[in-house]
Structure formats: structure tokens, C-alpha cells
Structure 1
Amino acid sequence: MSLHPSAPDTALSPETGSEPRPALSPAPPRRFASLRVILALILREMSTRYGRTPGGYVWGVLEPLAAILFLSIGFSLVMRSPALGTSFLLFYATGYLPFSLYQTLSAMIGASIRFSKPLLRYPAVTWLDAVLARFLLNSLTGVLVAVILLTGILAMIEHRTQLDLPPMVLAMVLAMGLGLGVGVINCAISGLYPIWEMIWSILTRPLFLASGIFFLYGSLPPLAQNLLWYNPLIHIVGLMRTGFYPTYDAPYVNVAYVLGVSLGLLAMGLLLLGRYHREILNR
């Protein structure tokens, strides 16, 4: 057995006579980096969108509530009862809230790259992070607002009918999916051709009147039914109402059609953004 002590790991350098510096190991990759970026973008939008106005998120509830109240009061002056049930508030809320969720998501996601453009210069922030942040924040906000308003309306009118939850949830999920698909493809097209945002706004103005908020699909003449069937929002609103009105039958609702439109638009939008996002950012 040798009596000499073993040489230390940091032996003297034969050239300089000093201890060499230990080799630097590469920095470990940041775990959940994309999730951190998305959360940071969500917090940034919450502070800029709701934190700078008095009341903040209260306006997120008051705005759709005011729209539903105006619709209910206005139509109650010219009609004795709504097309379904006896409550104008519930009838218009079941049509307006899923439409509002779609409209808000499509508009916000469509402007996601423009809103986060300064931050997208950093390598850690990608265009997909910006899209997901806006989708998650506005989806959660829209769903919470809908739950608050519908719960309040049902409590106020003393609604005793047994509700069917699955169609309600499915309708809101379909509205979120359609808003995401339309928003992503509009984000790509408007980034390449800025005039598209104005064109799209003009083309979709009749949607508020043509999405079944004020009427029932089955009450329309056959020609109008054949045309409006291709509007995915007609299916979403009809599905939403089947969850609140057990006697209402909506055989025209086609979930596969709405999913196909949403996924098709989303796929085309993702392909365009993946191909042209650098060109959009450099404009």
C-alpha cells in the first residue's frame, strides 16, 4: 500500500504552476420556459387591458350584461314572449354569450402578434406564445363571465327546469375553438395584408343578426335555413339553448361541421404563421 497521499483533483498546471480553472459545464435548459413566457404575457395583458381602467374586470361583466338587458327590454316592448320560454333575459343570454365569446377570441387572437410585437424580438418569446396567452386569458374570462351572468339570471327568474350541462359546455368549447381558428388565420392574413382587418370587419357585421341570437333557426323559411346553416355560430347557439330548454329540439346542429371548420381554419392559420411570421414581424 502506498504511503503517499493521492493527488488532488485540482493539480498544479505544469505550464503556469497555478491551479487550472474547472471546466464550465453547459447551463441546463430552462424547464417549462414556454409556460413561463405565456404566464408573463397573460399577466402583461391583464395589467394593460384591465388594470388601467377603474373597475377593471367589473367591466368584463357589465358590458355583456348591458347588451343582454338592452336586447331584453327592447324586444319585450314589441313582443309578448320570447321564442322560447318566458324570460327574455335567458333567451337572449343563451344566444349572446357564446357569440360574444367567439367574437372576443377571434378579435383578440387576430391582433396577438401586433399587440406583442415588441416582445417577439426576444428569442425566448415566440408568436405561438403570444397566440396561446391571448387564447387562454380571454377564454377563461369569457367562460367566467358567462357562468356569472347565467347563474344570476337563473336565480332572478327562479328557473326550475332541470338544466342539461353537457350541451352548454360543448357549445362554449365549440365557440372557443371557432374563435381560435378564425383568430389565428386572421392574424396571419392581416399581418401580411393589413387591409384585411377592415375587409373582415365589414364582411362579418351581419353575423350579429345572422347567428340565431334573436330568432330560432326552425322559424325561418327554407331558403334562409339553407343559407344560414353554413354559419357555424347558428349551430353553437342552437346547441347552447338545448341545454337550457329541455323541450327545444335542434336537429340541424352538426358538431362535426363546426369542428371541421374550426380545425381547418386553425391548421391553415398555423401554416401561414409558421411560414411568414418573420416577414410579419419585420413589417
Structure 2
Amino acid sequence: MPTLNKTTKPGEQAGPRWHQKEPTFWEGIAIQRRVIWALILRETVTRYGRENLGMLWFFAEPLLFIVGITLLWSYIEPRSVPAGTVAAFAVVSYPTVLLWRNTANRVTKAIEVNQALLHHRPIRAQDFFYSRILLEFASATGSFLVIFILFVAVGISHFPANLFDMVMGWLMVAWFAFGFVLTMGGLSEVSEVVEKVSHIILYLMLPFSGGFFPAYIVPEPMRNYLLLFPLADCVEFFRYGYYGDSFPCYYHLGYTIICNLALTLFGLAMMTYAIRKVEAT
């Protein structure tokens, strides 16, 4: 809490001066948690409105994408899916695309469009990144859980062969998305060119994301080149958690963890650089 101290200098009259007590580490964490939550609520209301149907769209928007892609893929000849149906394959593949693509779209120019809020002392520029990332992760995860549970209930999908590996695979995809989104968000703040070509970059990543076809159908040595992209490894591991040994999956967790860590550090560095550049202008 602020404290009132009276200080005087030689030759001047004593007057009140307010000194703000610096928060402790844990107090600072609590403050930033409340700030990020407030920004999430603000972004949710701004995007979806205050009505119940507007809030329902929070899950319905990505859910409709998943349903549409699943129906489309169901008409594909299922020779590339040796276990289960194409619909079951789609529901454990396409949601991983939403996790990184939608988040990257939302974080672009996040500081610039919210710069007016920085006059509030508790709000930091990086909070704009974190709040939008958490919102998109929650939306993608929630919509995936809804449709996956529904598909299991009606018999289209089955219960995961290894639930722990499936959860860890989803977290690995989210980890990659976090580092990638920070990188794209930071670059978009410092370069207009990156902002303009960001959609092209996202589209070019789709064939290498692992979300549209399994790695085992790619012949050698092209498969090894594909798996150099850590996102494909993450998706393959996630898919292994669902199918287990009934579906051939290829991944290298040690390599993927190192790549995700390097991407996260680079993304944090880009975000910090972008914040400093914005604050200097």
C-alpha cells in the first residue's frame, strides 16, 4: 500500500510525498496474473460480444472448422489410414493446426493495437502476447475436447491407446506454437514486411505441419527431411498417443525438445526486442 512520508529540504516547507512500496516477487506474480486474466476477458468480450451466444462462439468457431475438415476428409479414400476411419484421423490431426495457426494470426501486431493500454502501470507489453496465446490455446483445446469426446461417445473414435502420451503430445504442439507465435509476433512489431507475409508463411507451413497426412506414407529419405521440422514430430507423438502401436508413427523426442527450447528462447528474445523498440518510439 502507498505510504505518506514527509520530507524537507533545507530552505523549503515540509510537504507530503507519496512513496509506492515495491511489490514482492509473489505479489508481482499475482498482479500480472490478474492483469492477464483481465486482458483475456477484454479480448473475449471484444471478439465474441457479451451475449451468451457470443461466448458460445469461443468454442463453436474452431469446432466448426474441425467438423468441416473432418467431413471433407471422410470422402478421401482411406488407404493412408490403416487403423480406424478418416474422420477419426482428422479429429486428432487438424486441431493441432488450429493450435499454432490461429494463435499466430491473433498475436500479430498485438502490441500496436493495444498500445493505449500501456498507460496503466500494471500492464506490460508482453501481457498482450500471453493473454492472446492463452485465449487461443483454451479455445483450440476446448473445441478439440468437445468433438473428441463426442466422437468417442458415438463410436467414430476410440479411447486413446496411451492417454499420457496423447496429453504430452498436445503439450509439445502447444510448446512449439508458443515459441513460434512469440517469434512471429515479435517480428511483426518490428517489420511491416513480416506482417504482410505472415499469412503466406502460415500457408507454406501447412504441408510440413504433420496435420494433413501421416509421416509413414512419405517415402525415404523425404520422411527424414520432413521430421527435421519439429512441429511434425510433435504431431506424430500426439497421434501415437491416440493410436498406439496400431498406427506407424515417427518422432524424435530428444531432438524435438531441443528445437522447441531453442525456438522458445528465440521467440522470447524477439518479443523483448520488439517491446524495447515500441517503447523507444
| TM value normalised by structure 1 | 0.80
Q: Which residue of 2 aligns with 1:8?
A: none
Separation in structure 2 between the aligned mates of residue 257 and residue 178 of structure 1, nearest angstrom: 13
User: How many residues get paired?
Assistant: 262
2:211 aligned counterpart, secondary structure = coil
Separation in structure 2 between the aligned mates of residue 160 and residue 203 of structure 1, nearest angstrom: 34
RMSD of aligned Cα (Å): 2.8
CA spacing shift, 1:81–1:62, aligned 2, 3 Å:
farther
CA spacing shift, 1:255–1:113, aligned 2, 3 Å:
farther
| TM value normalised by structure 2 | 0.80
Q: Which residue of 2 aligns with 1:254?
A: 252
1:33-57 C-alpha deviation (Å, 9 max, x unpaired): 2222212111111111122688224
2:243 aligned counterpart, secondary structure = coil
- State the 1:181 CA deviation: 0.7
Q: Which residue of 2 aligns with 1:207?
A: 205
Match of 1:44 among 42, 45, 52: 42
Match of 1:127 among 125, 128, 134: 125
Q: Which residue of 2 aligns with 1:175?
A: 173
Unaligned runs of 5+ in 2: 1-13
Residues 181 and 266 of structure 1 are in contact (CA less than 8 Å); yes or no, is this contact kept in structure 2?
A: yes
The equivalences for 1:103-142 within 5 A come to 103-142=101-140
Residues 59 and 139 of structure 2 are in contact (CA less than 8 Å); yes or no, is this contact kept in structure 1?
A: no
Q: Which residue of 2 aligns with 1:34?
A: 32
Separation in structure 1 between the aligned mates of residue 40 and residue 160 of structure 2, nearest angstrom: 37
Residues 78 and 85 of structure 2 are in contact (CA less than 8 Å); yes or no, is this contact kept in structure 1?
A: no
CA spacing shift, 1:139–1:97, aligned 2, 3 Å:
same
Residues 59 and 140 of structure 2 are in contact (CA less than 8 Å); yes or no, is this contact kept in structure 1?
A: no
- State the 1:87 CA deviation: 2.1
CA spacing shift, 1:29–1:149, aligned 2, 3 Å:
same
Q: Which residue of 2 aligns with 1:67?
A: 65
Separation in structure 2 between the aligned mates of residue 114 and residue 170 of structure 1, nearest angstrom: 34
Residues 93 and 235 of structure 2 are in contact (CA less than 8 Å); yes or no, is this contact kept in structure 1?
A: yes
CA spacing shift, 1:115–1:158, aligned 2, 3 Å:
same
Separation in structure 1 between the aligned mates of residue 122 and residue 134 of structure 2, nearest angstrom: 19
Match of 1:147 among 127, 145, 156: 145
Match of 1:195 among 190, 193, 196: 193
1:243 aligned counterpart, secondary structure = helix
CA spacing shift, 1:97–1:280, aligned 2, 3 Å:
same
Residues 161 and 241 of structure 2 are in contact (CA less than 8 Å); yes or no, is this contact kept in structure 1?
A: yes
Unaligned runs of 5+ in 1: 1-20
CA spacing shift, 1:155–1:81, aligned 2, 3 Å:
farther
Separation in structure 1 between the aligned mates of residue 126 and residue 213 of structure 2, nearest angstrom: 38
